[in-house]
Amino acid sequence: MNLKKSKNIYDEAIKYIPGGVNSPVRAFKSVGADPAFIKSGHGNKIEDEDGNTYIDYICSWGPLILGHSDERLIEGIEDILRNGISFGLPTKIEVDMAKHIVESYNGVEMVRMVNSGTEATMSAIRVARGYTGRDKIIKFEGCYHGHNDCLLVKSGSGAITYGVPTSSGVPADIVKNTIVCRYNNLEDVKKTFEDFGEDIAAIILEPVAGNMGVVPAKREFLEGLRKITKENGSVLIFDEVITGFRISYGGASEVYGIEPDMACFGKIIGGGFPVGAYGGKKEIMEMVSPTGPVYQAGTLSGNPLAMHVGYRNLKILKENKNIYKELEEKAIMIEEGIRKNIEELNINAKIVRFKSMLTLFFGKGPFENFDDVQSCDTEMYAKYFNEMLNRGIMLPPAQFEGMFLSIAHTKEDIEYTIKANYEALKAIK
Ligand code: PMP
């Protein structure tokens, strides 16, 4: 594959941007490759600067449920821009968006828009602390909630991949109130509550982890968390930055039938624009300034363009709920095809799927927590990634991430992907 132009841009990029990228995973480091610089995306495909095209299974890390540049989202964008790009004053579309989220998600009665998932989780934690008057929080090993100091503790995503579970630059004093438990392990949580029950403001988790590869929570685990937080007056926060409006319209809360006290949203609700949001029970959200004493603000929060596109995206998803069925059917086709290939070639790998999110783990499994996924052969994944890239398929450039489907992926794409998977697995065996 010719990546000459990408390489030239990358050489230039590393002079001006740390690692040449604005988010670590994009550097392709953990798959031992140089990044492809992307020029355009249409429907199911992206094209790099050298003109190579790829079937895209990153989908901007989840948001592009409709695929790239869906006409329904583009329509009217120019009008919005011509009528003012940003005001820093309230606009009606923010109210429409808030109402839409509140009506769609069990557990959210009020919501505040922010600009990223990181901001959403950071703010939710602050509100939970303000509401309970407590400092300690529980997070789970392998869950990633953005790069807030207090949550960057044994976190997933790039941190696992680069083998640096805790970022430098985070003062020990800040993380001393963050307790890390094992995912899907209720005993850890019970023990923590026995020791610190009265001090625990919140539990935050990805109800379906996507940042250590796809690792769904067990139902009993989520039920246990719901029960223990209720009994102890702590706030249960679902980080639905990946799952909200992606695994189903009402997110994991709807899929599991478990209502958190607060929820965080991100990229998905922006349809590709920089958006985040956090919300929860009215009583909790009224703690936020100017109603209450917890300060949180944002000059560009609720930006008109992001709101219009995000709102339109959510409306399309709401009015066409069969989209979720279609996404899952496509994901099942991939899952079954890859599983068959693995069996036929006798590869030490396992494909895990939850709704339209998938990870091919190079290990036996089961994969229920961070320790489990750590046993994977990341070198095999790197080889696999590159074999697939050479066959025109863009997978997440790291083992501990999820693949995402969009409705723009065709049956032919999927058949081709399964065929490429067979050849790639055979080549790296
Ligand atoms: N929470 C989860 C579950 C995420 O996956 C991410 C990002 N991948 C974040 C929070 C942070 O979001 P952002 O990158 O928009 O800050």
Distance CA 105, CA 109 (A): 8
Boundary of a domain, candidates 319, 343, 361: 319
Share of the chain above pLDDT 90, in %: 93
| 46 pLDDT higher than 90 | yes
Residue 265 belongs to domain with CATH number: 3.40.640.10
Test site for ligand 1: of 145, 150, 278, most ligand atoms within 8 A of the Cβ = 145
Residue showing tokens 């790639």 = 424
Q: What is d(CA 401, CA 24) in angstroms, rounded to the nearest whole number?
A: 13
Does ligand 1 come within 6 angstroms of the Cβ of 402? no
Q: Of 264, 284, 319, which one is at a domain's C-terminal end?
A: 319
- The yes/no answer to whether this complex scores an ipTM above 0.85 is yes
* Co-location of 47 and 110 in the same domain: no
Cα separation of 353 and 327, whole Å? 12
Angle, helices 304-319/322-345, rounded to nearest 10 degrees: 80
Domain hosting 344: range is: 4-69+321-428
Query: Do 348 and 315 belong together in one domain?
Result: no
Handedness of CA 126, 131, 136, 138 (dihedral sign): negative
Residues 196 and 293 in one domain: yes
274 and 179 together in one domain: yes
Say whether both 282 and 347 belong to one domain: no
299 and 372 share a domain? Answer: no
Residues 267 and 353 in one domain: no
* Distances, alpha carbon 277 to alpha carbons 43, 91, 167, 211, 241, in Å: 26, 16, 25, 19, 9
Which string of b and e fits 392-405 if b means at least 16 CB within 10 Å? ebbbbbbbbbbbbb
204 plus 292 within the same structural domain: yes
Q: Examine the domain organization and report whether 184 and 251 are in the same domain.
A: yes
The 8-class DSSP code of residue 360 comes to: E
Sequence-distant (6+) residues with CB within 8 A of 280 are 107, 108, 109, 110, 124, 127, 235, 237, 260, 261, 262, 263
Band of residue 164 on the pLDDT scale cut at 50, 70, 90: very low
Q: For residues 65 and 101, state if they share a domain.
A: no
pLDDT in tens, 340-350: 999 999 999 99
Tell whether 325 and 294 lie within a shared domain. Answer: no
344 and 255 in a single domain? The answer is no
Provide the pLDDT for residue 160: 39
Q: What pLDDT, in 10s, does the model give residues 101-152?
A: 999 999 999 999 999 999 999 999 999 999 999 999 999 999 999 999 999 8
What's the structural domain count of the chain?
2
Q: Of 239, 261, 372, 413, which one is the catalytic site residue?
A: 239
pLDDT tops 80 at residue 156: no
How many angstroms separate the alpha carbon of residue 297 from the centre of ligand 1? Answer: 19
Q: Which amino acid residue places its CA nearest to atom 10 of ligand 1?
A: 145
